[in-house]
């Protein structure tokens, strides 16, 4: 019998009682709850047999067990929640799986992981090759349903473009389970109410594909598995720090026209409007990545632009 078939999951009521955070005052973090859909979703990813998976927030271990049962070489799962960690060590046990009581939200975790002999063996000592997706290292996990999940996904987008944290290791393919509201923001097209800075960054720098959807969750709610493949080169022509600055300022009020919001880039910045090849009266939220990039490029070329763009992080 496979590890996944042997896994006994709690009832919803027992899960809600046993896995609460902060002395029972906060609901448990969302976790995958169905076995059959996990196998079906994993099959759609077509992962090579010798792949090593780095997993965030395994929860009850459904996705972990599915990966371990599928022929992957190793699954390294980061679980910071004490109660989930204990459940995993007692109920989802395999020579293929290693649990670490670490949090993928903490960026200090990634340099520690990079020093592991098994990770070093996969990455080698040479400069990461971005001409191809890494053939044997895969990044995955289940994002929390709260604000932390959105913050984490936005940080992943920033790390992808800057090649930081896990993306300092190379061009890693990823597949993340995320709540429906977060998925809608991630893939929101121009003109959508869900359009945000994160939507623009992912559109510019990665190819995303919806792999599977399910409502078999703890608690019940729609989650999607989304494959995120970094592009070898982004579609941006402007420098990243300039693009990031422009994006941050324009999207403060995305329903306002560009002709108004461009002034937030600096005194006299509206001079760049006449240098654009599109109508600056359109609202910021309807702008394509290419149009935002064009604004950033013209701003970058403007001699009087501010050169100290950030005092804090994105």
Please list the residues that pair with 283 across neighbouring strands.
257
pLDDT value for 126: 82
pLDDT value for 49: 85
Helix crossing, 197-205 with 289-301: angle to 10°?
90
pLDDT band at 12 (very low <50, low <70, confident <90, very high): very high
pLDDT band at 25 (very low <50, low <70, confident <90, very high): low
Query: Looking at 16-25, 157-166, 262-271, which range is the least confident one?
Result: 16-25
Q: How far apart are CA 75 and CA 123, in angstroms?
A: 16
pLDDT, tens digit (0-9, with 9 covering 90-100), for 201-220:
999 999 999 999 999 999 99
Judge whether 218 and 31 are in contact, CB under 8 Å.
Answer: yes
pLDDT, tens digit (0-9, with 9 covering 90-100), for 97-144:
999 999 999 989 999 999 999 999 999 888 888 999 999 999 999 999
pLDDT of 273 strictly over 50: yes
- Per-residue pLDDT averaged across 22-36, rounded? 82
* CATH of the domain spanning 240-301, picked from 1.20.144, 1.10.8, 3.40.50, 3.90.930: 1.10.8
pLDDT value for 127: 85
Tokens for 83, please give them. Answer: 């109660």
- Per-residue pLDDT averaged across 16-41, rounded? 86
Mean pLDDT of the chain: 92
Q: At a CB cut-off of 8 Å and minimum separation 6, what does 171 contact?
A: 128, 129, 130, 132, 133, 134, 230, 232
32 is in an annotated binding site: yes
Q: Where are the domains of the chain?
A: 1-230, 240-301
pLDDT above 70 as % of the chain: 96
pLDDT band at 314 (very low <50, low <70, confident <90, very high): very low
- Note the residue count of the chain: 314
- Per-residue pLDDT averaged across 253-277, rounded? 93
pLDDT, tens digit (0-9, with 9 covering 90-100), for 41-82:
999 999 988 999 999 999 999 999 999 999 899 999 999 999
106 is in an annotated binding site: no
Question: Could you give the dihedral angle defined by the CA atoms of residues 199, 203, 205 and 209, in that order, rounded to the nearest 10 degrees?
Answer: 100
Judge whether 79 and 85 are in contact, CB under 8 Å.
Answer: yes
Peptide bond before 64: cis, by omega within 30 degrees of 0?
Answer: no
- Per-residue pLDDT averaged across 87-101, rounded? 96
pLDDT of 248 strictly over 90: yes
pLDDT of 22 strictly over 80: no
The overall pTM is greater than 0.75: yes
Q: How far apart are CA 157 and CA 205, in angstroms?
A: 8
pLDDT band at 311 (very low <50, low <70, confident <90, very high): low
Q: Where are the beta strands (DSSP E) in 199-263?
A: 206-214, 217-218, 223-230
What would the CATH number be for the domain defined by 1-230? 3.40.50.150
pLDDT, tens digit (0-9, with 9 covering 90-100), for 279-292:
999 999 999 999 99
- Per-residue pLDDT averaged across 145-167, rounded? 91
Please list the residues that pair with 55 across neighbouring strands.
77, 140
pLDDT above 90 as % of the chain: 82
pLDDT value for 1: 46
pLDDT of 181 strictly over 90: yes
172 is in an annotated binding site: no
């Amino acid at each position: 019998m496979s590890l996944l078939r042997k896994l006994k999951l709690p009832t919803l009521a027992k899960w809600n009682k046993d896995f609460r955070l902060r002395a029972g005052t906060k609901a448990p973090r969302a976790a995958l709850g169905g076995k059959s859909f996990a196998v079906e979703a994993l099959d759609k990813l077509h992962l090579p047999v010798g792949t090593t998976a780095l997993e965030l927030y395994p929860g009850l271990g459904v996705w972990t067990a599915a990966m371990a049962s599928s022929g992957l070489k190793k699954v390294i799962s980061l679980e910071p929640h004490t109660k989930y960690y204990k459940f995993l060590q007692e109920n989802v046990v395999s020579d293929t799986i290693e649990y670490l009581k670490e949090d993928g939200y903490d960026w200090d975790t990634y340099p520690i992981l990079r020093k592991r002999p098994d990770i070093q063996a996969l990455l080698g000592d040479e400069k990461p090759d971005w001409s191809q997706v890494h053939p044997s290292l895969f990044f995955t996990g289940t994002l929390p349903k709260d604000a932390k999940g959105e913050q984490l996904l936005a940080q992943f987008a920033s790390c992808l473009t800057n090649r930081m944290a896990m993306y300092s290791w190379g061009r890693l393919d990823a597949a993340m389970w995320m709540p429906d509201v977060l998925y809608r923001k991630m893939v929101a097209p121009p003109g959508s109410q869900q359009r945000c800075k994160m939507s623009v960054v992912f559109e510019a720098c990665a190819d995303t594909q919806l792999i599977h959807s399910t409502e078999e969750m703890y608690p019940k709610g729609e989650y999607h598995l989304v494959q995120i493949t970094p592009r070898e080169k982004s579609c941006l022509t402007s420098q990243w720090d300039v693009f990031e600055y422009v994006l941050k300022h324009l999207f403060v009020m995305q329903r306002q026209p560009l002709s108004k919001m461009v002034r937030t880039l600096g005194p006299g910045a509206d001079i760049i409007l006449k240098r654009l090849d599109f109508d600056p009266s359109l609202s910021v939220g309807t702008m394509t990545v290419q149009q935002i990039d064009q604004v950033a490029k013209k701003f970058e070329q403007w001699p009087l632009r501010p050169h100290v763009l950030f005092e804090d992080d994105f």
